[in-house]
Every structure is written in C-alpha cells, then in structure tokens.
Structure 1
Amino acid sequence: MEPGSGADSGDPASANAKVKRDMVVNLPHQEKPFSLWPGKYHSPVTAALWHARSSFVERARNLAMDGPAQSNLLSKTPEENRTSVVYNFASDKTLREEYRNPWNSIRIGKLLEDLDALAGTIAVKHCSDSDHTTRPLLLVTASVDKISMKKRLRVDVDLQLAGAVAWVGRSSMEIRMEVIQPVRETMDKDDVALIANFTFVARDWKTQKAAPVNFLVPQTEEEKQLFAMGNARDAHRKKLRMESSSSNGSSPFLKQYNDRLTQVLREVLPVHTRH
C-alpha cells in the first residue's frame, strides 16, 4: 500500500471508497458489477427475485460461453410462469415509508422499476429449460408498450404485483403486469389499479443474435384474447418497421427501439463478446 493513502491515514471514507473501486476494477473482462446492470434494482420486496435471476447469469458465466444453445423448445402455459409479490403496506411501516411520496401516495416510478424486475423474472422462468448444461438466454426489456392507470394507489393498503407471459413470437415475448389493490382472496376486476405490457427480446449470450424462445399455449378464454391482442401489437410493430425501411429508417419509433436495445446490450454483455 502506498504511503499517505486514504486507507493508511485511517480515513474510513477513503478506505470504503478504495474497497468500492477495487470491487469494480478487479472484475474479469472489465464487466460492471451485477448490481449496476441496467434494470438491476434492490427494493425490499424484489431483492429475492433478483437473487433468483442472478443464478441464471452465473450459470452462463460458469459455462464460459461454451455450453450448447437450447435446441428443443418447450411449450408452456401462462400459469406456469405466473408470479406475484405482495407489499404489506398496512402492517409494515418501514416498507410503507420507502414507497411514500411527498403527497402521501405511492412513488409510481419506484413501482414501475419493481414491475420491470418482476416481469424480467417471469421472462426468465418462461425461457428456462430443464437442461442445466445449455446456456441461458440474455433477456432485455425492449419497451413498455402500454401503461393504463385505473385508479389512484394508496400507500396504507396492501398491494400486489402480478404478471404472466401473455404472448410470444420467435425471439420476443410480452409480459402483462398488473398492480392490484386491495389484496383479497377473491379478486374483483375493479381491484386492478394499473396494467402494463412489457416487451422482452431474447439474445444468445455467445453470438448476440436473436434466439428463439419457448412456445406459449394459452388455456383460458382470457389468455387467448390476450395472446390475440399481442399478435395484433406485433403486427403493428412489423408494419412500422416496414414503413421505416421504405423511408430510409427515419421512423422515430424504430430509432428509439434500436437505440434502447443497443445501449442495454453494450452495458450488459462482457467486453470480450462484443465486436
């Protein structure tokens, strides 16, 4: 250690700063620490979800990109990946204060980050297979196509985030997320306070190319309707891309979509896999 350094001088702030720098500098391939990845968010409720997702990331790294890609696509139902998280606002004062805004309501931005975290967990569950030797897919939030606020959210009443895969294409999927309040055993349609559709795209960790995802088999009439609506939105996106191609790529929609995807891939993928 060099003489006169912050750690030698007994300055705790300098010592902590050095430790934090070392955690970043000593990472292999100059990667960002997992806690700084795009969309990585530590809320009291979703920390466990991120921990579960990190196991897939570590498996991809441990395979050193040499594991085989998934060759057999599975057929899954929306119910298989349906996931929910309950916020005990009524009884947990600490949690309640973390989500309270200055106007005594819920911080919507923080809740949307949680929705993205949960949607990503659902996407990982849908794309996983039973073969632990295959490398998992890299899943990126491409867009949030629609957010519908049905009613004002209260910070003193229990709240639930719930979602499931509603539609899949070849290498993309749409996750329908709902915010439910109040939380009760028998849910009424009026309990849904917010609806958002998150679109994820799948990429191969090794090749960075689009990767196919597991099939979705809707079972109920509602699931079939949501799947049809997803098909309609996908057709609309394809139409916009075709119009953009015919106008030399001047579509603001396509530019925003591509810029977002490129930015996230650059930040997430290890340096040695970039070209």
Structure 2
Amino acid sequence: MSLLSRLSSSSVLRKGAPRTFFGIHGVTAVPLLQHSILHTESSGKGPTEIIMDPHNNSTASPSFERSITIPVLPTVKSPFESTPDSPSRKPLSMWPGMYHSPVTDALWKARSSICERMWPPPSLDGPPQQTLITRTPEDSRISIVYGFTSDYILREQYRSAWDECRIGRLMEDLDALAGTIAVKHCSDNDSITRPLMLVTASVDKIHLRKSITLNQDLRMSGAVVWVGRSSMAIRMEIRQPPGGTSEEQDQVALIAIFRFVARDSMTGRAAPVNHLDPQTEEEKRLFEQGKAYDERQKKRRMQHVDNGMKSPCDGERLQALLTEGRVLQDMPALADRNSLLIRETSLENVHICQPQQRNMHGRIFGGFLMRMAFELAFSTCYLFVGRRPLFVEVDRIDFLKPVDVGDFLRFKSRVLYTEEDDPRRPLISIEVVAHVTRPELRTSEVSNTFYFTFTIDSEATMEQGFMVCKVLPATEEEARRLLERYDADREEQENLG
C-alpha cells in the first residue's frame, strides 16, 4: 500500500479520532513540523501511527504513539470579522505591516491612527481639501526607539551575517517613517475631505556617518524640512550612543533625505500640500537647502530633455573612455591588467512580487525594493573587490513607476566607476536598475534606479598586492551613464561643502 493510501485510511483522518493539541501562536509552530508521520500495520488493531525522528530514524517514546496535530492560532481577527471598536481588530490598512519589520509595523500603526477615518473607507467622491494649513517642521516630527539592549528578538531581526545592523532593514524603516511623517504633515483633520495619496518620489541621500551596532539602542527621528506645491522633503536621522553614554551625547550615525509627492486619490493628479513655516535658524537652513536641491534637479531634467534624453557629457572625456574600453575588448593581452569592462561586473536577480510585500496602498512597498536593491549592490561590490564591502551612502534613488503585486521584477546591477583619491578608502559606485517585465505583453519598463557607494576596510587596503580594479565602458550608453553619475556625485559633494 502506498504512503498516500495509508495516510488516507489512517486514524489521523478518521472523524472522532483522539487528538492532542498544542496551542502555539504564529510561526513558532514551524520548527515542530519537522517530524514525519509513518504508518505501520499492527496485528488486529488496525494502523498505528509512529512518530519518527528524521535525524536518527528512531521512534519516539511510547507515550507519543498517536499522531498530534499542531494548530497555528490567529493572534488577531480579520478586519472584516470584527467591528471597528473591537479590541482584537487590526485596522484594514495595517494588514500589510504584518509581513515587514516590527518597526515598520509600528510606524504604519501610527499612520493608521492619523488616518483612522479610513475605516470605514472614505468615499472618493468626498471633496478635496479646501484650505491649506501652515505647519512647522516640529508639527510633523516623529521618533521611534529600537530597544536593542532589552529586546533579544528585535536584535536578532536586525542582525547581519557580520554581527552588525542590517542596513537594508533600516532602509525599509526609513521609508515607513518618511511616509508617516508625510501623512502627519498633510493631514487636514477633516473627516469629510478625501485623503491624499502620498508616494515616495526619490531618495536624495542616505549617508552613513558611523557604523551602527546592536549593542546600543537606536533612535530614528525625522520631520518635513521643505515643501513645494505638491512635493516635500523629509530629513531623518539615526542616533546611537557612542558606548553607553547619556542620550544628550548621542551621535548622528545616519542621515537620510526622502522626497514625497502628493496625488489626488480620485484623479491621480498632483495635489497641493500644507505649507511649511520653519522657525529656528537650523530649520530655515534646511529649508533653503531643500529648495536649492529641487532647483538643481529641475535644471538637470531640462538639460536631459534639451539633449534629446541623452545626458550632457564632455565629448572628449566620452571618447577617451571608449578608447580605453576598446583596447580592453580588442587587445586584452596588451590592456591594463587592473582594468575590467563594466559589463563583466554585472549581477542580476528576479523576484515575483507577492502580497506580503505590499504597502498600505496595495502596491509593493518602496522600502522592500530598496532593501532588495541594496543587498544586490552589496553582493556586486563583494564579488568585485573580493573583500566585505562597507556601506558609505545612497547617492540617489528614483521611483519612476509603481510596482504591483504579481509583477515580474528584475534587478540588474553593475559597477559604474571606482575612485582611489584616498588609497586607504577607495570608493566603488554601484548602479542597480529595476525592470518590471510582463512576459504576456512582451514589455519591460524601468521602475526604479538606485545608486550606492561602498568602500572597504582600511586594513584590507594595506594588504600586499591589493588593488581595486578600474572599470571601463564598452558602449556609448555605459560611458554616458558613468560620466553622468560621476559628475552628479561631484556636484553634490561641492554643494554640501
């Protein structure tokens, strides 16, 4: 008799068969499901269940002769099965957060409390916001604390393979925090008007100023620092004590600037956002900085259009790069031994977008895309230099098109350029491009572009014979992209002083 036949005739499936239940919440039950249940014939007593240890093929103790069923009990009820005031109800808008980090979950809960009128869902036929409110940066400020020193599970969720904090996880949380801050700033406290749809447009910068450990608590905070007509810049910081000191001596470990745009939730068109009134000298400085950055980006986009969608590059520099690349292609034995073609540094991975990765609007969470791109960029740099890379900064991320559940998403990475102005701190620039591919329609569109900078430990650079390769373009497109990114990075460094 086959195993399936014996299973179907066993007492496990018989109505009324005695069972033992262990109430285990959530995924805690998963490790206990590793025991296989085999069935043997016993004389005159029908089939008997024997639990086998899959590691040593020995039977369990006689007290466990009967098979057990371990139910996975729900911790909260579906929002459709409980009333809005039920203590066990989790708001409908919060369900995607169940599959992300606990910090992202907490931030989405805070956002849901700001927009609690979303239950029941507001009618899109409601009027748009009539009067814009003037708010201060402090009005939108939100902070969240990571209790690493007291919460073992939280610490494990953020632990990397090198016993450090996972930067990709923090990127998810930064996107969630920025979205919650944007909602707080744009809220009009009116339950009649339809809510705005706020989406991440870009990441201007994420700069790591010092390493982040799991031995001290973290504080992540941020506020709106600049607003345009329908867009806003949100500046966030991560602070961590340098070694058990008081909160007043916390050091800024990371700075991030995100840009959000507001859309009318019914028409999808750009919608005006509340005004911002900076109060302190620091707030005024950050406001002017955000305004200047916005003007530079507009100017860069206009130049891009004027040049027929090609980046404006110096013709001589372009040809010089292509000449070097041609030597490496046509005469590899005579080329610089420390050179490599850009295309030879590329990596790729694919991902089918699942419902567990969606955000509160039902589309794929931008923070998840950032983490996926960061981890591919990290791997690309790791394979390129042969040493564990150290994250320096995100130079730029653009969210060009939304990504939906079910999309076939392809991430392609490559090293764009390397820089060795400081031999003890070489810089490696990595580009990651995300494509939404639809095989049924034979289409593929760029949804996101990501630019990361990494370095390596200074001790590794002192090893005898260690060198970081120079990468060269093989095509005009690669040469233009290299120069465009290099010039943009230099310009931002000059503007930041």
TM-score for the superposition, normalised by structure 2: 0.43
Instruction: Report the more deviating stretch, 210-219 or 44-53.
Output: 44-53
Describe the SS at the equivalent of 1:67. coil
- Is the counterpart of residue 170 in structure 1 residue 229 in structure 2? yes
Structure 2 partner of 1:146: 205
Aligned letter for 1:135? Answer: R
Q: Within 1, Cα distance between the matches of 2:247 and 2:281?
A: 19
* Equivalence map 1:81-230=2 (5 Å): 81-182=140-241, 186-188=247-249, 191-230=251-290
- Shift of the 36–234 alpha-carbon distance from structure 1 to 2, 3 Å rule, reads farther
Aligned residue for 2:124? 65
- Read off the aligned partner of 1:100 and give its amino acid letter: R
Paired letter, 1:149: L
- Within the candidate set 84, 107, 124, 1:49 is matched to 107
How far apart in 1 are the matches of 2:291 and 2:172? 26
Residue number in structure 2 paired with 1:80: 139
2:194–2:265 contact (8 Å) kept in structure 1:
yes
Per-residue CA shift, 1:215-248, capped at 9, x if unaligned? 0100011000000000110001110121122123
2:305 is equivalent to residue 245 of structure 1: yes
Structure whose alpha-carbon radius of gyration is higher: 2
Give the SS at the match of 1:97: helix
- CA distance 1:209–1:225, change in 2 (3 Å): same
Percent identity over the alignment is: 55
* Larger fraction in strand: 2
CA 161–112 in structure 1, closer or farther in 2 if over 3 Å, else same? same
The 1:238–1:124 alpha-carbon spacing in structure 2 relative to 1, beyond 3 Å, is same
Give the AA of the match of 2:248. M
Q: How far 1:36 moved relative to its partner?
A: 8.6
What's the CA shift for 1:130? Answer: 1.9
By how many angstroms is 1:66 displaced?
0.4
Q: Distance in 2 between matches of 1:48 and 1:101?
A: 22
Aligned-residue offset at 1:61: 7.4
Distance in 1 separating the partners of 2:302 and 2:158: 42
2:321 matched to 1:262?
no
Q: What are the superposed Cα offsets for residues 104-157 of structure 1, whole Å, 9 maximum, x if unpaired?
A: 100000011101101110000000012111111101111110111110111111
Paired position in structure 2 for 1:20: none
User: Which consecutive residues of structure 2, in runs of 5 or more, have no partner in the other structure?
Assistant: 1-11, 14-32, 34-70, 72-77, 79-91, 313-396, 406-497
- Structure 1 or 2: more helix by fraction: 1
SS state of the match for residue 262, structure 1? Answer: coil
Counterpart contact for 2:94–2:109, Cα < 8 Å? no
- The 3-state SS of whatever aligns with 2:199 is strand
Secondary structure in 2 matching 1:147: strand
Structure 1 residue runs of 5 or longer lacking an equivalent are 1-8, 17-22, 24-32, 268-275
CA distance in 1, matches of 2:253, 2:278: 24
Give the deviation of 1:41 after TM superposition: 6.2
Q: Is the 8 A contact 1:40 1:50 kept in 2?
A: no
Amino acid aligned to 2:290 = G
Once the two structures are superposed, what CA deviation does each residue of 1:237-266 show, in whole Å capped at 9, x if it has no partner?
1101211221233459xxx84xx34325x6
Contact 2:123 2:194 in 1 (8 A): no
Q: Distance in 1 between matches of 2:238 and 2:124?
A: 37
Q: 2 CA distance for matches of 1:184 and 1:202?
A: 41
Letter in 2 for 1:145: D
1:185-241 deviation digits (Å, cap 9, x = unpaired): 6534x6000001001011000010000000010001100000000011000111012
In the alignment, is the contact (CA less than 8 A) between 2:94 and 2:108 conserved in 1?
Answer: no
Amino acid in structure 2 at the alignment position of 1:125: K
Alignment partner, residue 5 of structure 1? none
Q: Greater relative contact order: 1 or 2 (C-alpha under 8 angstroms, separation 6 or more)?
A: 1
Contact 2:238/2:255 (CA < 8 Å) preserved in 1? yes
Supply the RMSD in Å over aligned alpha carbons.
2.9
Shift of 1:174: 0.5
| 2:160 match: secondary structure | coil
